[in-house]
Amino acid sequence: MAAPKRGRSASAQSKPGRSLALILIAIVALTGGMFASGNTTPRLGIDLAGGTSITLQAQNEPGQPNAINKTNMNTAVEIMNRRVNGLGVSETEVQTQGTSNIIVNIPKGTNSAEARQQVGTTAKLYFRPVLAQEVSAGAAASASPSASASGSSSASPSASPSSSASSSEKATGSSSASPSSSASPSSSATSQGRAVTEALKAGSTPSSSASASSSASPSATSSADASASASASAAASKLEAEYTALDCSKATQRATAGKTAKPADATVACGQISGVWYKYVLGPARVDGTDVKKAQAVYDTQTASGWQVQMTFTGGGAKKFADVTAELAKNASQPTNEFGIVLDGEVVSSPTVSQSITGGQAEISGSFTQQEAQSLANVLSYGALPLSFKTQSVTTVTAALGGEQLHAGLLAGAIGLALVIIYLVAFYRGLSLVAIPSLLVSAVLTYAIMSLLGPTIHFALNLPAVCGAIVAIGITADSFIVFFERIRDEIREGRTLRPAVERAWPRARRTILVSDFVSFLAAAVLFIVTVGKVQGFAFTLGLTTVLDVVVVFFFTKPLMTLLARRKFFASGHKWSGLDPKGLGAKAPLRRTRRPAGPVAGPVDPKEA
Amino acid sequence: MSKLGNLGARLHRGEISYDFIGKRKIWYGVSILITITAIVGLAVRGLNMGIDFQGGAVFTTSKTSVSVAQAETYAKEASGHDAVVQKLGTGGLRIQIAGMDTEKSDATKAKLATDMKVDPESINSDLVGPSWGDEIANKAWEGLGIFMVLVVIYLAIAFEWRMALAALVALIHDITITTGIYALVGFEVTPGTVIGLLTILGYSLYDTVVVFDSLKEQTKDITKQTRFTYSDIANHSINGTLVRSINTTVVALLPVAGLLFIGGGFLGAGTLNDISLSLFVGLAAGAYSSIFIATPLVADLKEAEPQMKALKKRVLAKRAQAAAEEEMAEVRVGGSEDPEDAAPAVVGPRNQPASRNRGGRGRPSGKRR
């Protein structure tokens, strides 16, 4: 926009009508575009419309100092976007801000708590072999209200029916698959005809029989795992004690269980399957989340086994995964042939393994819905990012307060504008006929551009932005003041209005450009460097500064030139604001005014 | 016509003028005093950093009948931390809990809602991790630094390094004073305040730049004349742009005042209020510093130049001579008017008569009117 303007400004001097027409066309085009695209109001930010805004800060994982870069951040944004919008929150917006921050804006009316949980989950993903697993005591209470009576007894017999009930709801697919628990890998291998891809069974879903056995003899399994892997060390007994004490149905215990575990140690953890909390003993992490190169949810059309998650491992990861699956496949019984996919201390999935999976590709299948499969895939690919995120701020604004703030902001703007207009009228009289329309043109342009920027660059009008716009009234008005004072100075020197306007303009123009540049520089630096609310403010300030230059060049000056031809102004009417007597023009020059007019005339083009 | 217009005219012609440059020592003194007060205030009282800078939570409720003291107890119970509760203009409460973890906030919010018997969905919350404020502040400092470097470079190119330096001093002056006032009065510092402070950057310089622009224009051919020293012209520049400076400041302050009024009166504490408060203080300081600090500083720096020293010598010599002549020809004063009037009007003091030994564009006002 700036380039053509500069070229034309010279000709605009002599043809004020043309630049006026130009800006009118611009206004019509912008407002037309605004109505045509249906964005008649600027998009409102969370603080004005209500909703929740979360700021996350990326942090490098130890040993990966340069992980915060554009690619990784964009991947993180993409994954988060899918995660939150997977909740059915299509309006949720995830954006990077600055170099290391991600802003998540969740509009009003969506389940902000759930979205927040999704977003705020710190992604530390490990694959750990499962050593023991059982339904956690009291799980039935939270799982199924119908079973609450029996579940409250927390005895193992009551737990196992509830687990079977719960597994039946998720594992309709798996129960159909679980009979073939031993057969399915081979069948899928043959049907798919791919040697590299191996099938895993999803979840602990594996049927009532498995859960019954695990719940029936927790001591047996734990002792078995102790003998199998941990070789009865002190750590193992401590773990066992922890495991026995752990009650995953309690949120307070869940919050701490396994969260601080080192990857190299065995740990306890909780995991939820179909609404039932299970507790686990997990071996040391064998595969890192960063070993996963890619994960995606696909619909398997060939075997009609529904949604599944395909993983691709990196070179090192493929080997590690082959090793661990080879070991696990030796354990024929549940749950020791499972590995837990542990995200931030919580088991998100624990598929069974029936044979060693080599080649770096694996599939997790089960009775996934599309959403479940996608969510698991997201978790898996999220783990591939060597970044963790820390919640820096969470702002929740009710729609009522948002509306109130918007109202107050608009009111403040209106009052500010009115005060400025009153001041201009009082001080500049007739000249306010130039100033007020200029302010209005500026306001219309700002509004239209803000509305159009909403869908194009995700500009959202927030409270600081409103503030910026209000402050900009002053900056815009100041440009007129610089110009008007220059004209007055010229009149004081004894010139008539028309030459005065033409002589004043080049000087005023330079002042306006220089000072607007400083203002714009401030806005630009703030916009690039800062984060959060400051950025919105800087953006509006910069936008309005640019518009100020456009308006002064294309509207104020031409309008002034036109008005200078009117008798009302040219004759220096008392109310024109340009009354030479009132301004105290040099009295003696009055005498020489007649010769001065023509003399001053030819000077103008030179100056312009 | 308005009085100010008339004043503008007289300032323009130099009929009346305030000797900003001549009295600069006084204003330097005043500024140094204020700055020292501000620094002492900062050192002794420190800034009252808001929740955003120390981490914690702010809950804002809708209209409620729970009293402030009650809410404080509730909040303390719910969070385990001390809480500060304010009543808002809307009838709601603003509960600030410092040092609270972002993870605990949901539980606290839920508990508060049950205690106060309001819908948890109607509570606004603002939770900030302890390092977020640092992030904002650090970025702001970074922005400040980058901006200062860029603007000094720009001003040094557009004007000259002396002006850039003076503008920088004025800028630092403004920021020190504004933060000092925050420390002394004990206003809470929020990201909104930082926004306001950063805006002052642009605005303070904006004002200074306009004065410098006129100064640059008028001193273009300064060495070709012997009537005025740099300081004289600088003083005239300030006086000439005084009306504009006043207008600009008023026009800038009016919307900010509107914001402050609405922000304070309607919403109680909030972003609007924070931004406008620091803007208000900063704008006032900015207007003051561009007139009383920046330009006199430029004059001082300029007068130290050998060229300008020589000019000053010539001017003073000429004035002494003129004074002597004037004494002899006191009677003939009336006749000197005509030739000067016929000269084409040019902005700047070149066409001014040297008939006066006063600093400014001394024209005997009594004779004119």
The domain spanning residue A73 has which CATH number?
Answer: 3.30.70
In angstroms and rounded to an integer, the radius of gyration of the C-alpha atoms of chain B is 28
What's the pLDDT at B361?
43
pLDDT in tens, B205-220: 777 887 888 888 877 7
Average pLDDT, chain A: 68
What's the pLDDT at B4?
56
Residues within 8 A of A (CB atoms), B 146-175 only: 146-147, 150-151, 154-155, 158
pLDDT of B341 higher than 50: no
Report the percent of chain A where pLDDT is more than 90.
0
Given an 8 Å threshold on Cβ–Cβ distance, is B254 in contact with A400? Answer: no
Residues A263 and A288 in one domain: yes
Q: Which of A226, A262, A231, A259 is nearest to A244 (CA)?
A: A226
Q: Which residues of A494-533 are buried (b: 16+ CB within 10 A; e: fewer)?
A: bbbbbbbbbbbbebbbebbbbbbbbbbbbbbbbbebbbbb
Q: Which residues of B touch A435 (CB under 8 A)?
A: none
What span, in angstroms and rounded, lies between the C-alpha atoms of A303 and A191?
A: 7
Domain boundary among A346, A362, A384: A384
Rounded to a whole number of angstroms, the distance from the CA of A575 to the nearest CA of chain B is 8
Nearest CA in chain B to A600: B344
Residues A282 and A171 in one domain: yes
At A384, is the pLDDT very low, low, confident or very high (cuts 50, 70, 90)? low
Q: Which residues of B touch A114 (CB under 8 A)?
A: none
A429 compared with A255, residue with greater pLDDT = A429
At A255, is the pLDDT very low, low, confident or very high (cuts 50, 70, 90)? low
Among A428, A529, A540, A607, the residue to mutate for chain B (most B Cβ within 10 A)? A529
Residues A372 and A454 in one domain: no
Place of tokens 């000053």: B312
pLDDT in tens, B44-102: 888 777 777 777 788 877 777 777 777 777 777 777 777 778 776 667 777 878 777 66
Q: Is residue A51 situated within a structural domain? A: yes
Do the Cβ atoms of A20 and A437 come closer than 8 Å? no
| Average confidence (pLDDT) over A111-120 | 63
Q: Is residue A12 situated within a structural domain? A: no
Q: Is residue A15 situated within a structural domain? A: no
Q: Is residue A605 situated within a structural domain? A: no
What's the pLDDT at B268?
56
Domain boundary among A117, A138, A153: A117
Rounded to a whole number of angstroms, the distance from the CA of B262 to the nearest CA of chain A is 6
**Lowest-pLDDT choice from A413-422, A536-545, A564-573, B306-315:** A564-573
Given an 8 Å threshold on Cβ–Cβ distance, is A583 in contact with B147? Answer: no
Given an 8 Å threshold on Cβ–Cβ distance, is A412 in contact with B263? Answer: yes
The residues, any chain, with a CB within 8 Å of residue B216's CB and separated by 6 or more, are B159, B163
Residues A201 and A150 in one domain: yes
Residues A228 and A358 in one domain: yes
Asked if ipTM goes beyond 0.95, one says no
Q: What is the residue range of A540's domain?
A: 398-583
Residues A296 and A168 in one domain: yes
Among A442, A515, A528, A590, the residue to mutate for chain B (most B Cβ within 10 A)? A515
Q: Which of A432, A379, A467 is nearest to A560 (CA)?
A: A432
Highest mean pLDDT among A261-265, A391-395, B261-265: A391-395
pLDDT of A579 higher than 60: yes
At A597, is the pLDDT very low, low, confident or very high (cuts 50, 70, 90)? very low
Residues A244 and A380 in one domain: yes
Domains delineated in chain B:
3-49+133-306 (1.20.1640.10), 56-129 (3.30.70)
Report the percent of chain A where pLDDT is more than 70.
62
Evaluate the CA torsion angle A353, A359, A363, A364 in order and state its sign.
positive
Residues A547 and A439 in one domain: yes
What's the pLDDT at B346?
44
Asked if the C-beta of A397 comes within 8 angstroms of chain B's C-beta atoms, the answer is yes
How many domains would you assign to chain A? 3
Residues A90 and A199 in one domain: no
Q: Is residue A588 situated within a structural domain? A: no
At A498, is the pLDDT very low, low, confident or very high (cuts 50, 70, 90)? confident
What's the pLDDT at B367?
40
pLDDT in tens, A415-472: 888 888 888 888 887 788 888 888 888 888 988 888 888 777 777 788 788 878 887 8
Average pLDDT, chain B: 74
Given an 8 Å threshold on Cβ–Cβ distance, is A419 in contact with B254? Answer: yes
At A360, is the pLDDT very low, low, confident or very high (cuts 50, 70, 90)? confident
At A562, is the pLDDT very low, low, confident or very high (cuts 50, 70, 90)? confident
Q: What is the CATH number of the domain that holds A510?
A: 1.20.1640.10
Nearest CA in chain B to A490: B347
What's the pLDDT at A607?
37
Residues A356 and A407 in one domain: no
B37 compared with B89, residue with greater pLDDT = B37
Evaluate the CA torsion angle A489, A493, A494, A499 in order and state its sign.
negative
pLDDT of A279 higher than 70: yes
At A178, is the pLDDT very low, low, confident or very high (cuts 50, 70, 90)? very low
Residues A88 and A129 in one domain: no
Domain boundary among A324, A356, A384: A384
Q: Is residue A373 situated within a structural domain? A: yes
Asked if the C-beta of B123 comes within 8 angstroms of chain A's C-beta atoms, the answer is yes
Rounded to a whole number of angstroms, the distance from the CA of B185 to the nearest CA of chain A is 23
pLDDT of A149 higher than 50: no
Given an 8 Å threshold on Cβ–Cβ distance, is A398 in contact with B267? Answer: no
pLDDT in tens, A286-330: 887 777 777 777 777 766 667 878 888 888 888 888 888 887 777
DSSP assignment of A402-435: HHHHHHHHHHHHHHHHHHHHHHHHHHHGGGHHHH
**Lowest-pLDDT choice from A52-66, A200-214, A244-258:** A200-214
User: Which of A471, A490, A584 faces B9 most closely, judged by CB atoms?
Assistant: A584
Q: Is residue A19 situated within a structural domain? A: no
Residues A201 and A86 in one domain: no
Asked if the C-beta of B93 comes within 8 angstroms of chain A's C-beta atoms, the answer is no
pTM of the model: 0.64
Report the 10 Å Cβ neighbour count for A302.
9
pLDDT in tens, B186-209: 777 877 787 777 777 777 777 788
Q: What is the distance in angstroms between the CA of the first residue and the CA of the last residue of chain A? A: 21
What's the pLDDT at B58?
80
What span, in angstroms and rounded, lies between the C-alpha atoms of B290 and B2?
A: 25
A26 compared with A596, residue with greater pLDDT = A26
Q: Is residue A18 situated within a structural domain? A: no
pLDDT of B151 higher than 50: yes
